[in-house]
Structure 1
């Protein structure tokens, strides 16, 4: 059933991404063995569930909230994301935002900088979801330049 969650994309056996899950989807995510849900969408994004943290923790999963402003992603946002992923490296993680665009950009960067995946291979996953706009392409370039 998890494959029906909007913009779902399996990245690896321990990592999946999506757009905003509905309340009932968190049961499916937990039943699929995921231990942590990481949300990159600010609660005021228009897509978010106000009680998402409660929905996730009621399923016995950890909840990590990293609000990334669409028009202004920061280097700190990505650094916090990397810390959350690295702390749960062996654990199954579900990462989402409103439409899986923020997430796909962060996963692209993570795969290139930390998983040592080639940019070409990482870009296939990124472009399965979208081609970054100017703001996000500049952000990606900035993260690469800073080498976070």
Structure 2
């Protein structure tokens, strides 16, 4: 099997069945297939200038399932999180989850790891902070993300 394409923006391997990154490019589709990815979950908006056009069709051509959950950077919602959790937990594996910078993805995995997988909060936060710390200081939308990650399951 091929080695991880670590030159993809913000590439991160979480475990043997899960990888994450920022935006992917057309050249990355075959590389994801080569490492055995069977499902890609995209949290970015398709209208973003760096989004891969017709991503689902390009992945399908390589036998990779595709789930698109467009999460506005200024308005992540519980519906987005529920769809993400279902896609990651119930979809084919190995799974690769990406957005544009790996910020949305790292925040979503923080909550998944903390709330559903029983990972200690400090460990889940450290994993998220390899990519981003949504503390509300680096850009205005970060405060929205600080609120998002602070939410606990009902």
| Residues 19-34 of structure 1 mapped to structure 2, 5 A cutoff | 19-34=22-37
Q: Does 1:45 find its partner at 2:54?
A: no
Per-residue CA deviations over 1:84-133 (Å, capped at 9, x if unaligned) read 111137x2000000100000000111111111100111111110001112
1:97 aligns to what?
99
Q: CA deviation at 1:47?
A: 1.5
Instruction: Work out the CA distance in 1 between the residues paired with 2:25 and 2:48.
Output: 15
Instruction: Work out the CA distance in 2 between the residues paired with 1:78 and 1:46.
Output: 24
Where does structure 1 lack aligned partners over 5 or more consecutive residues?
none
Instruction: Work out the CA distance in 1 between the residues paired with 2:71 and 2:91.
Output: 20
Task: Please state which structure has a larger fraction of its residues in helix.
Answer: 1
- TM-score, normalised relative to structure 1: 0.93
RMSD value, Cα: 1.2
Where does structure 2 lack aligned partners over 5 or more consecutive residues?
135-141
Q: Could you say what secondary structure the match of 2:6 adopts? A: helix
- TM-score, normalised relative to structure 2: 0.90
Figure out how many residues of one structure are paired with residues of the other and give that number.
Answer: 144
Per-residue CA deviations over 1:36-79 (Å, capped at 9, x if unaligned) read 00000011122201211111111100000000000001100000
Give the alignment partner of residue 70 of structure 1, picking from 69, 73, 83: 73
1:88 aligns to what?
91
